[in-house]
Every structure is written in C-alpha cells, then in structure tokens.
Chain A
Amino acid sequence: MKASIQAVTLWGKHSPTHSISAILITEDQRTIVTGSQEGTLCLWNLSPELKISSKQILLGHTASVTCLAKARDFEKQPYVASATENGEMCIWNVTSGQCVEYTQLPFRHTAICYYHSSFRMTGDGWLLCCGQYNDVLLIDAKTLTVLHALTSSQSSNWISCMCLVHSPRIQEDSLIAVSASGDLKVWDLSSSVSRIQEKQCVAERESKSLGCASCHTVRFCTYTGRLLLVVLPSCWKVYDYCDFSLLWTESSPSGQYWAGGEVLAAHRLVLWTEAGQGYIYQLLNSGLSWSKQPSDGRVLKETVYPVLLCSTAVGCNKSFSYVMGFMNERKEPFYKILYSGDASGRITVWHIPDVPVSTLDGSPKEIPIAASWTLQDHFDAHGSVAEGILGHLCVAGQGGSCALSISIYIPSLDKLVCGCEDGRVFIVPALQALKTRLLEDTSLLKDTLPHRILTGHSSRVTALLYLRGWSARFDPSWLVSGSQDSYVIWWDMFTGEILHQFSLQAGPVTDLLLSSDNYRFKGQRIVCCLCSDHSVALLHLQERACILHARKHLFPVRMLRWHPLENLLIVLCENDSVSVWDIETGILERHETGEVAKAVLAGCEDSPLSMEDSLLPIFEDDAHKQRGAGGPPSSSSKLGPLSYSTLAHHKKSSCRLSSICSAQWPFTILPVKTEWENRNFHILLFDLENLTELLLSSQLGGLKSSNSLHSYDALERARSSAEKGTLLLRRNKTAGTLSLFHGPGEEHSFGDSPVAAAGCLEQSGGLKRQKKAKSSKKTKRQLSGKVNVNLVTGAANLLLTCLWPWGVDRESDHLCVQYLGISRLLWPVSFGLVSEEKHFSLMLPGWSHANSALWDQHNQPVNMFSSKVLDLRNKYLSVAKEPAGKPGGRSKNTGAPEGPPTLISLLNRICLVKKIISMPLERSTPQKVESVRNKWRANQAVESTSFYEESSEGTFGVPVHDSENVSLVKLISCWRDQSIELQPLWSSVTALCPLKTSLQERVRLSRTSWKSQITEMRRSHILGWPRCVPVKCVSRQYSFSSKTRR
C-alpha cells in the first residue's frame, strides 16, 4: 500500500456488523477497544462521565479477533496488540488508529500479557502469549517476532489462562498459568530475563495439578498476597497460594456458566457469567476452623466463605456470547469499571462503587448500567451524515426504498454498479454520484444524476461480475448478475438489455467468478456461478448455455481449479475434499479427501500449494483458507473486489481487503460488504502520487500524446478492443455461426454499428460508443484520453473538497469555490487512514461533531477537524512570516485558466505532507529530529525544485518557495513529534494552500511557459521520486509501470 493513498469512507444507514469477541479498556480509561468476529477492531471514546461514543473502525485482520492486550507502557505509547484466529497479529496505535506493526505467525493466541521490566531488559517489552499450542511464547512487542518460549518440564499442554503477578516482597515477577488439563504452573520472569535473552531453556518453577480442566481465568490477589482465584464454567474456586490448598468452591447460578473474574480488593471478588451478568462477592474470614478437617492432622487452616454483595443490572437488549472485563482504578479520577461486549455489538459499562455493599436486608444490591452503546446507535444518532452511496436515488422517488445488497466499481468506465434488495441494478457514473452525495452543488441536481436501472431480477441481487475487468477479451458492455432466486442474467450495461437469462434452480447465487486465464471452453473463458446449495454452474455466455452444473458437494465450495488439458474442473470444498468434474460430459470423475485431495490440487495448474510447504501443520487449515482467498481471484486477478472473501472465508469473512489494485487507478471505490447482514459501505481511495502525475501528464496530453500512465492504458484499451474486434471476426469466420452472435451486445463490438451513438443517457458511455465508432486508432486514443482527464480532475477536485477546511477562512473558501471549481461539502466526510500492509482505519460518521461546535454556530457546512486546526494555522502563519500579505488581494489577479496548475500544486503539497507524516514515528525521537529535518530539507530541495521551481531563470520565485517549504517541513515534523492526530495536520496545511496559490500567481506565467515548465517538472518529478519515496513504494510503482507497458 502506497503511503500516498488517502481514503474517504461513505457509510450507509446501517453500521457494519461488529460481533464483539474481545474487549479492552485502555489504561487511561479514555478508549475502549473491541475486536470482532468479522475481523474488525473498533475504537470507542469513553468520556470521564462514562459516556461511550464510537470513534473509528480498524480494518486489516482477515479472521475473528481472539484477544487484545496492551502492547506498550501506555503512558508512553498508546499501543494495543490484537491477535486473530488465523495467527495474524497487529499492533495498533489507538489514538491515531494506525497499524504500527503486522505479522502472521503459525500460532493461535487466546490470551496475551504484556511484560516489561524497565531495568532488566532493553527494548519495548514482551508479549507473553498462550493459545492453541503448548506452553507460553515470548513475542517481541516491537517487532512481533517470536523471541523464546517458556517450557514445561512435565505434563506440557496448552495454556488456557494466565496472569502476571508482581510480588513486592521478593521483587519477583512471575507468570501464573493453568493448562488445558488443569495444571497450575508458575514461571519466574524477572529472574529469567537474562536466561531468555541467552535463549536458554526456561522451565516452570512450580507445577501442580488442580484437577480442573477447561479453566477460564486465573487471578492472584495482590492485596492479600495469598489468595488465588480460579474460574471454571461450573464454579469458581479460591486457593491459598502458599500451599495451593482449596479454600472455597462456589458453583455457578443455575443455568449459567462463569466466564471470568477479577479481584476487586482484598477479599472482594467480581465474577461474571457467559450471559453477561456480573456478581460481586465478599470473602468472609471464618477464622481458624477446627471443625472442618479434624482428621486431617494438618495445621489448622484459615477458611473463607463468600457472601454475594451485588449483582449487575442487565439491559433489555439480550444477546449472546458476551465477553467481559474489569478495569480497576489506577489514579484518582478513574473508576472501577466492569465492561462487556456482546455478539450484537453492544458495549455495556457498569460503574462499580468503591465500597460495594448489599442492601440492608442482606439481599444483593443491583448495580445499574452506567452506559450502553452500539455502533448502530451511533449511526442512528448521526443519521443525516450516514447515507449510502445511492441514498439520493431512492429519495428521488424511484418507488420505495432500495437497500444496497452488492456493488462493484468499474474503474475503466468510472461506473458504479449496485445491486439492490428488490432486484434492480443501478448503474451510475461514480464520480458524479459521489459529488451529488457529498457536495452541496446546485449545478448537479440530484434528480438528474444520469443513471440506468436494469430491471430483470425479482429478488435480491447477490452477485455481480464485470467481465471486462477480468479479461480484455470481453465486450465492455457486458455485465453478469446473480440473484437470490437463482437467476443469472447477462446484461448489456449500456442499453439495459437482457442478453440472456439463466435459471439455475440451486438456491441463492453466492458468487460469480471467471474461469482462469488458461482455461477456455470453445475459445472462451466461462463464468462460474457458485450457489448456496454448494453447487457450481459453469455458464458459457456466448452460447447461452449452462455447460455443467456440479451439484453433490456436501460443503461450501472454497476454491476452483482448472485442468485445461483434460478439460477438468477441480472443486475444493470447505472440508478439504476435492471433486473432479469432467466439463465435457458433466461426470463426477473423482472424489478425494486427505492426502490424495492435496495431491490432486497440487497437480493442477498454477497451484500455490507447493509454496506453503514450510508452514507448520497446526496452521495448515488456515493456510488453506488463505490459499482459497488468493485462489480464484489470482487466477485472473486484475481488480479483486472485496466480495471474494465470502467465498474463501465463508465464516468470519468480512472486511477483507483483498488485492486492492488501486495503484492502477488514481481513484477507486472499494465496496466493503459484511457476510451475514447486507450492510455495505464504500471506501474511496485517492492515490495522490498517481493523481498528480496524471494531472501533470494530462496537461501535455491535450496537445501531444504523451507516455504518461493514463495514455498507456488508453493505448492498451484501444489495442485490446481492436484485437478483440479481429478476434470476434476470426471466430465468426471459423465458427460460421453468425446466428449465435446477433444479440445487441455483439453489435457493439463491431465498430461500424449504427446503434452506437443512439439514445444513451450516460455521458461517458456515449463517449465510449463514439470512440468505438471511429476506426482510427489515433482518435480513439485522444478521446479516451479526454475521458480520463475528466476523471482525474474530477477525482482531484473531490479529494480537495473533502480535505478543505471549510469554514476556517471564509475568504479562501470563497476563492476555492470560484477558481478551483470545487464546491462545499454537505457534511464533514469520514476519512480513512491507510497504513502499510492493507490496514485501514476508518473514522465513523459524526466523529467530528464532538469537537466542532462551529457546525451549529455557522449553520453551514464546516469541515473542521478540531479546534487545533486554527491554532496550527496561526502558528504556521507566524512561522512562515509571509511577506505576501493577504491572499485575497492577490488572487483577484488570477486568471481562470490557471485552475488546473493550481490544483496540481495543491495536490503536490498534500502529497508532500502526507509523505512526511507517514514517515515512521520512531525516527523522530528527540535526538534524531534534527537529522530527520536535515534529511527532509535535502528531500525538500528535490521536491521544491521539481515542483515549484518556476523556470530555470526564475530566480525571483525560488528562494521564497524554498524557504516557505522548509519552514513547512520544520513545522510538520514538529507537530509530528508532538504526536498530534494526523488529520488536523492535513487540513491545516491545505488551509495554507491559498497562500501558495497567491504565490504562484505572483510569478505569473503565460500559458506557453507553463507548458515547457510542466515538461520539465514531469521529468524532474519522475527522476525525483526514488529520493523521496520509500523504497518499497518505488519498486511497486516500477513493477506496476512495467506491467502496464507490457
């Protein structure tokens, strides 16, 4: 993932599903972190008054989150570690939402404890992990690599729970753990630090069988230093830590099971059940007991017995599978908080009184719920802001509401195709749809958004496939859609005509795929249709026939493979069985399981199996899943939409961000769909570097055909369409069956079709047609180039609009609207932050409401990120000490045609800032700041010469810009050191851009000098990249460009 990508999220009316599977309150009691079965994390603000509000959603995991733990000393770095069912681990910065570190290990963790001993060890501490493997692993909290393991000398087994204990008496930290077979084990930590660092074997100090399997929690009472609480589903027990003698066993309330517990204070415990109810017990000391064990002959023992003091109130919204935790107060203003999250995504918080008491008559007192909140509550509260991408279309009165069920984005056409609950398929030009959705703009009346509705399905549309996106051999107008009632329709998108309708009678269509590149049936790649009765139908579009319907699978299909030589389809099911189908005859040739199945899979084309041999077997099944995910799209992947995750990761799947090829396009819409409920949202991805590059080249593109990226793909398109034309012709000759091809879809592919230009609503669609109508390659290229330029500038405008700090400076707002051609936002957009390795953090709608009272004051859209923006801006102004004076005065001279260059410079500026910010934070430790700055200054020299140097003899302009940029860089790195949240920075810098504009206008250039300068800029710009872009990005960029060139 490139650093220069800016994400903006368009939420729907419904929140994404978030079935909480892990929950944590940070030590400052400001943030609640939850992990979900869908693999997302959510950050919630907890106010000092115990009010909860949702803040951010973090995407990146591909499987259910199993545990969360702090990963640093929280006062220094607000980092939280998360681990998932398939062995992924992430470290997140919970203030900014960035993913700091990421890894995938062949271990499934179920609990993590953070351990750091500042005077014994260097580095950032260890994550002590336990899970579905033997004993305890030590993982470096910074790099997430396995450092060492704590081993057992006897009865080694999985560890089901553990806790860290610090004993002040002997200054020893130890780890108490209970294994799956019920053995209590104690490892010394602080005295083993050196042994661990030397990689010596560290065995347990004590091991004792408690005789109770499936233990949930073990806690040590630090107040008394003696009691040990062990929680089992059926009962909880208190042991004396000195000799491990059992002091008390309390069984669970009838019909309930204990899930966990914590020590509240000396002799006071809080316990909670699976059903999400908490109980507080007082352990009463009955003194020394003579009577209990008279025959024992041992020393007289202290005995305890519990009294139930309080229980928590339960909300009216009952759900299932609760996860709970308890947070003790640490400092004065903090509370004792009992918190829970459940499968419906609800967070409930109870404030436990400092001294819990029972009611006067001795019956337990009820502790009221202090706060309760769900994501959906949040969405409801900010309903006006959260509206789906097609919201306006429904409002426009197309007959009832239409909830989106699936959508795909076609970048080459800039079209968004949306399937609805009621069976309609909307096709809208994406940028325009976004503009009407986001901007207050009178010129774009909402009713007149050009769109096309395909009607044909009578129930929910469940799958969409745009063939051209996968193979250039298909006609760009072809679209295939599948529905709930098992119909698959082949459309001509441009005319809305149904080319053919397949009725499968096999339950809802779950997915549509294209056969792999090297498998063709009668010269064509075929469409594979996965149905919910686990069958696979192979559809040959051109022949309008279903050539194979492979039923009989007992489990959902995970992967399809092809054997082109023998004409075989190999189906891998969820239970790892493999069915081999003969496509020609439709006969099930083989059904294999186990090793043979693996061998069969390995034997067929481009199987990635061999590459993953090194994986431990414990990880094997998940490796399969990964493979599955990579499987079908990789066979012909050009732009893998997210919905593919449903195939591979049938269960937890959700917000998987598979192969985002946004690098290819400066602007992409990424539909995200959750599995069980139809809740969609879209992420807009703007690639800044790409955008600026394309804008620059588009300046030239108008005059001569340049070698820039966009004209590359224009070329490619032109070439491929020409190729396809000949191909079709050839096929016609050989097949000699013209009757097969006289559907309207085919007519388009022949350039001279008279149908082409007639009666189409869509602009770009029309352009396409015109393009096709011309036979000359040259005109094709130019036309398509123009389409692309529109797209690029449109995207750039939209991005600027989103980033612009509306309402901060009215004058510059006005200027923007007037000269840049951008318009005001309807409401603040929800930004997303992209960190390395496809990790996203998405702001939730209404996140800015909390701190922008301005919204109400001005009664107009304000894009305030926080009040800090103003401060920062003022700071900047004072630092920069611009002699230029008021920006407004200058801009009066601005000629309108200067719009695009200004746009470019703004984007460049944003790009630069983004890059500075995305430099790893670690580098900016006080000692290094100076060097970083120097470095940036050096980079800046490159940047500024490439971007801002007006001409070779522009001696007047250069120094001004240079100094300005240097100060800007200084300032930004300053802010970065203070670890201010990233978003305000962004906007504040854009707020400064008017200054920039005015400066550029000062050295006014004629149109011609601009041209020459742009050429130069482009050259230096490209040359300059390797020095400013992190190496990874560069290589990716180059590999990409080589791809397009091919």
Chain B
Amino acid sequence: MRMAALASAAERAVLEEEFKWLLQEEVHAVLRQLQDILKEASHRFALPVSGSEGPIKQENFILGTANADQVKGVLMLQGDTLCQADINLKMPRNNQLLHFAFRDDKQWKLQQIQDARNHVNQAIYLLTNRGTNYQFKTGCEVLKLMDAVMLQLTRARNRLTTPATLTLPEIASSSLTKMFTPALPSDTLMNFYINLNKLCLTVYQLHSLQPSSTKNFRPAGGSILHNPGAMFEYGNQRYEVSHVHKVECVVPWLNDALVFFTVSLQLCQQLKDKIAVFSGYWNYRLY
C-alpha cells in the first residue's frame, strides 16, 4: 500500500511512461470526445451563430395539465426566443374564457437558454485551443483546463436547472405583462421560465387588498413559484395572490442538452481523477 515510498526504480519508469501516455494520447482522446459531445449540445440550442445557417427552426409547444383546464398555452419557441404565444385562461370566478396572444411586434427572450448556450460556447472555445497537435507538458495544465471547462459546464447546467427567483413586484413590472393583445387584465400576472428540461408558464390571479383590510400585510420575498396567499405591493396598491396556475411542457432538446452536460462533466472529472492518481507517486511540481 505504501507505494509512493517503496516504488522501485523500474516501477517508477513504468509509471512515468504511463503518465506520458496519459498526457500525449489519452488526454487528447478525452478532449476530442468532449468536444464532440459539446458541439452536439450546442447544436441543440439552435441559435444563429453568424446568420449563415439559415432560418432557425421553430417549434410549437402545448402547455397544459391533464387534470385541469384553467390555463392552456401554445408557445412557439425559436432558439432562445418565444416568438408567438397563445394563452387561454379560464377565469375562476365566472368561468369566462379569455384569450391572449403576443403582439406581432413583440418577442420574449428566455435568458436562461441564451446564457446556457453562451457558457457551452465558451467551453467549446477552451477546448478548440487545445487541438490534437497541442502538447500538454504538465498534468497541472490539464487540470486547469478541465477546471475551466467544468466551470462553464456547471454554469450552463445551473442556468437551466435554477430559474430566477423573482419577487411579485418584479414580475408585475416586467415587460412581459405588456406584450399581450388584448392587454392582460390588471389582476393577472404571467411568467415564463425554463426549469430543467421544461418550459414553464405560471399565471397568477390576484385580488387587491383594501387599505382598510385587517389582514396582516407581509410582502412575499423572491421565489420561483409563489403560492396563493402571497402578498405584495405594486403601484401603491396591495395585492394578494388568489390562484396560481402552472403549466409546463417538456422541451426534448433541453433534455438532451442536460444529459450532454452531465456526461461531459463526468468525463472531465474522470480525466482529472486519472491525472490525480499520479500525484501519489511524485511531487506535484514534476507534472
């Protein structure tokens, strides 16, 4: 077990040979594999790189839940932008059916997708600089490269897995509320976000609190999804959330992308572990 101290000279020579192989062959093999995976992931995002790839594919997603039909939405996603939206809302009070759509001149960008895509591109860029003809001289260099790549990949993944936590006034003041035709009633708020592989739409029904109301007013903090009963103040008027509807739809390519992130993160970590094994045999400075 006490290998480091007792390793014989021959053993050391073999180890060094093995390490050399690792740096010269194995690292590049892993990097190539990583690059392939990430390029594949990047393709999924289908954003225009330079305008040369022609029009971007548009996809329609139908958001709804199986058991309730309070909210239904048909969204058209083009890369990172929601370019069309048709939302049907059944008002809980009078069962009146309302229909909203994006105005023609408006689009809604899903910042999470754009950020994730940018992070992936940064990771790819880090890898392209270390092509097959690049000579890694030290293990430390590989570790640093892997750290940088993993940082970008973790951020890309986290961007998709953790939607912004917004406060209700933030949602109310967002330009999303002004994008619809006919205009959203003042007692309705909407929010779009990505959660893991799902495109989500939340609709909040509000009722305004009277200033004389005896209810203990406590403004809610930031959250991904607010619960009924959450209170906030917006434009000198106090509101309380009466109903929350959340509908979602799986976006298949987001799922793929997340899988690619996970796989490439594991690849990176495995490469790091391989390099780290050799640290037991000689001083770090050697490699």
Q: Contact residues of A with B, CB < 8 Å? A: 19, 37, 85, 132, 134, 156-158, 180-182, 209, 211-214, 233, 255, 257, 274, 318, 320-321, 343, 421, 423, 458-460, 484-486, 503, 505, 507-508, 532-533, 554-556, 574-576, 594-595, 613-618, 620-621, 651-652, 676-678
Contacts and interface: CB of A to CB of B under 8 A. Distances in A.
B15 interface: no
Given A554-B266, A614-B221, 9 more contacts: A158-B115, A213-B49, A213-B121, A255-B131, A485-B1, A485-B280, A507-B280, A576-B154, A617-B162
Nearest to B47: A181
Contact of A180 (B121, B262, B269, B277): B121
B62 interface: no
Contacts of B283: 421, 678
Given A180-B121, A617-B162, A676-B143, A554 B269 contact: yes
B1 A321 contact: no
Nearest to A510: B276
Contact of A505 (B1, B48, B141): B1
Residue among A458, A575, A617 facing the most chain B CB atoms (10 A cut-off): A617
12 contacts: A132-B119, A180-B121, A209-B51, A320-B141, A321-B144, A532-B276, A555-B265, A576-B154, A614-B165, A617-B162, A621-B155, A678-B283
A575 B272 CA distance: 14
Nearest to A503: B1
A512 to B, nearest CB: 18
Contacts of B140: 676
Given A484-B280, A507-B280, A613 B223 contact: yes
Nearest to B112: A617
A342 to B, nearest CB: 11
Contacts of B158: 576, 617, 620-621
B229 interface: no
B147 A214 contact: no
A321 B129 CA distance: 10
A212 B51 CA distance: 9
B118 interface: yes
Contacts of A554: 266, 269
Contact of B269 (A423, A555, A618): A555
A180 B80 CA distance: 14
Nearest to B51: A211
Given A37-B144, A485-B2, A575 B280 contact: no
Contact of B50 (A157, A213, A613, A678): A213
Contact of B196 (A158, A533, A556, A594): A594
Interface in B158-199: 158-159, 161-165, 196
Interface string B200-232: 000000000000000000000111000000000
Contact of B4 (A320, A484, A556): A484
Contacts of A484: 4, 280
B57 interface: no
Nearest to A110: B122
Interface residues of B, number: 56
B285 A617 contact: no
Nearest to B111: A134
Contacts of A576: 154, 158
B5 interface: yes
Given A485-B5, A613-B222, A233 B115 contact: no
B223 A132 contact: no
A233 B125 CA distance: 9
B164 A214 contact: no
Contacts, number: 122
Contacts of A677: 284-285
Interface in B226-260: none
A621 B162 CA distance: 9
B2 A458 contact: yes
A594 B255 CA distance: 14
Interface in B113-140: 114-115, 118-119, 121, 125, 128-129, 131, 133, 137, 140
Given A181-B47, A320-B141, A532-B276, A616 B164 contact: yes
Contacts of A156: 109
A633 B48 CA distance: 47
Contact of B118 (A158, A255, A459): A158
B151 interface: yes
A274 B129 contact: yes
Contacts of A620: 158, 162
Contact of A181 (B48, B133, B159): B48
B154 A575 contact: yes
B161 A85 contact: no
A459 B147 contact: no
B118 A132 contact: yes
A874 B133 CA distance: 65
A678 to B, nearest CB: 7
A676 B283 CA distance: 10
A406 to B, nearest CB: 14
B147 A651 contact: yes
Residue among A19, A318, A554 facing the most chain B CB atoms (10 A cut-off): A554
Interface in B27-49: 47-49
Given A157-B114, A613-B222, A614-B222, A233 B109 contact: no
Contact of B154 (A460, A532, A595, A621): A621
Given A209-B51, A321-B144, A180 B162 contact: no
A652 B151 CA distance: 11
A678 B162 CA distance: 37
A613 B165 contact: yes
Contacts of A676: 140, 143, 284
Contacts of B150: 651
Nearest to B258: A594
Contacts of A652: 147
B109 A617 contact: no
Given A212-B50, A233-B129, A554-B266, A508 B279 contact: yes
Contacts of B162: 617, 620
B38 to A, nearest CB: 14
A182 B164 contact: no
A616 B167 CA distance: 11
A19 B144 CA distance: 10
B8 interface: no
Q: Which 8 pairs, one residue from A and one from B, show the smallest C-beta to C-beta distance? A: A651-B147, A617-B162, A459-B4, A621-B158, A211-B50, A620-B162, A485-B2, A458-B5
Residue among A37, A209, A575 facing the most chain B CB atoms (10 A cut-off): A575
Nearest to A17: B140
B118 to A, nearest CB: 5
A713 to B, nearest CB: 39
Nearest to A108: B155
A423 to B, nearest CB: 8
B95 interface: no
Contacts of B114: 134, 157
A618 B143 CA distance: 25
B3 interface: yes
A617 B276 contact: no
A214 B2 contact: no
B51 A85 contact: no
Interface string B62-106: 000000000000000000000000000000000000000000000
Contacts of A212: 50
A158 B119 CA distance: 10
A509 to B, nearest CB: 11
Contacts of A617: 158-159, 162-165
A862 to B, nearest CB: 35
Contacts of A421: 283
A615 B164 CA distance: 9
Nearest to A213: B49
Nearest to A597: B161
A576 B153 CA distance: 13
Nearest to A63: B151
Contacts of B50: 182, 211-213
Contacts of A503: 1
Interface string B9-36: 0000000000000000000000000000
